[in-house]
Structure 1
Amino acid sequence: MNRPRNLITLVNLLLFYAEVSAFTGCQKSILTVRHVASCPKDEVSWKAAAIKMNCDSITQNCAMSLGLSTPNHRFQYHCLVNSDKNATVEVCALNRFIFGFCAEFDINAAVVQENYDADCKTHNPPCPEFYDSAEAYKCKKSYF
């Protein structure tokens, strides 16, 4: 049986989750929202879109004010469905780790969060079991 290994993995994930998945909204993100027809589908086009959006140039102190001064929390390019699931948006937002679901951006809360209506393990190919929200291109299924 793999119980000890599974238990160790679960404990590590819970500790990791507690550190990097807090709801970390940043009102400055709302100013960067752009509606787009679709998101980049691969790492190369994702990085090109990130360069064009230039999130690094935006002055914000959201991570610091939330006590998240680690490299795990950065203001980064995202391309996600909105929380109403009726539009795709590009946005500069604090990244977080997503576990088992697709990511979405809640414009009202100014936060990247799990989209509990989209279990990305069912995609073909499936999304990683957990991933950085700023790498959502790893989940290739369209929302609409």
Structure 2
Amino acid sequence: MTLARSQLRKFKTSTAKSGFGSGLKESVKNVENCPDSKEKWREAVERKKCPSFAFKLSKPEEFIYHCVINSYLNQSVELCAQQKIIFGGSCTEYSASANRIQGSLKALCTNSSPPCPNVYNSTQSYKYQGCYHLSKKNQTKIAGKNTSGDLKPVLSIMILCLLIIVD
């Protein structure tokens, strides 16, 4: 094995173990709004107190306040997670299934105002409000779908069950 392959394998192993972008599940909370300024971001950092969630870990200072969209693009969440470099002009999202901060494959914010740069730190996501507008827009669409129209199959089944029980 060449030295380059050996170094690459060590890098892959060390980054997998360190879990860059890893979140603390117990710190995840759905929120109506994420901070939209540096001042509000600082207030949220003080309120969330991420080191108190991470005190059992060897490096609690690595777990930093984030407020990002979820991977379904329908909710904003705040959590304590390791910072991550986001590439490709995508929004920063939290994947609950992977329990990590990552760049969204579904939400690009290069056309938002201000646009996401090609490379930025996940802790700077508050600067790119277009990402939060995407989640609010999708939240509204989902709320619009969850009307009485979705209850028709359920009501039909319930009525059918009652008819069977009565007979």
Residues 139 and 25 of structure 1, relative CA distance in 2, 3 Å threshold = closer
SS of the residue corresponding to residue 122 of structure 1 reads coil
1:33-44 map, 5 Å: 33-44=28-39
State the partner residue of 1:47. 42
Q: Does 1:119 align with 2:114?
A: no
Structure 1 residue runs of 4 or more that deviate by more than 4 Å after TM superposition: none
State the partner residue of 2:26. 31
* Structure 1 residue 128, shift from structure 2 partner: 2.5
State whether residues 21 and 102 of structure 2, in contact with CA within 8 Å, keep that contact through their aligned partners in structure 1: no
Gapped regions of structure 1 (runs ≥ 5) = 1-17, 65-70
1:69-108 map, 5 Å: 74-99=62-87, 100-108=89-97
Gapped regions of structure 2 (runs ≥ 5) = 1-11, 138-167
Distance 2:100 2:58 in 1: 11
* Structure 1 residue 38, shift from structure 2 partner: 1.2
Residues 26 and 98 of structure 1, relative CA distance in 2, 3 Å threshold = closer
Q: Which has the higher contact order (CA 8 A, sep 6+)?
A: 1
Residues 62 and 96 of structure 1, relative CA distance in 2, 3 Å threshold = farther
- Letter paired with 2:20: T
- Letter paired with 1:61: L
State whether residues 22 and 101 of structure 2, in contact with CA within 8 Å, keep that contact through their aligned partners in structure 1: no
Normalised to the residue count of structure 1, the TM-score between the two structures is: 0.71
Residues 62 and 90 of structure 1, relative CA distance in 2, 3 Å threshold = farther
Residues 104 and 119 of structure 1, relative CA distance in 2, 3 Å threshold = same
Computing the radius of gyration over CA atoms, which structure comes out larger, 1 or 2? 2
Residues 82 and 48 of structure 1, relative CA distance in 2, 3 Å threshold = same
Percent identical pairs in the alignment equals 33
Structure with more helix by fraction: 2
* Structure 1 residue 26, shift from structure 2 partner: 3.6
Report how many residues are paired: 116
Distance 2:21 2:119 in 1: 20
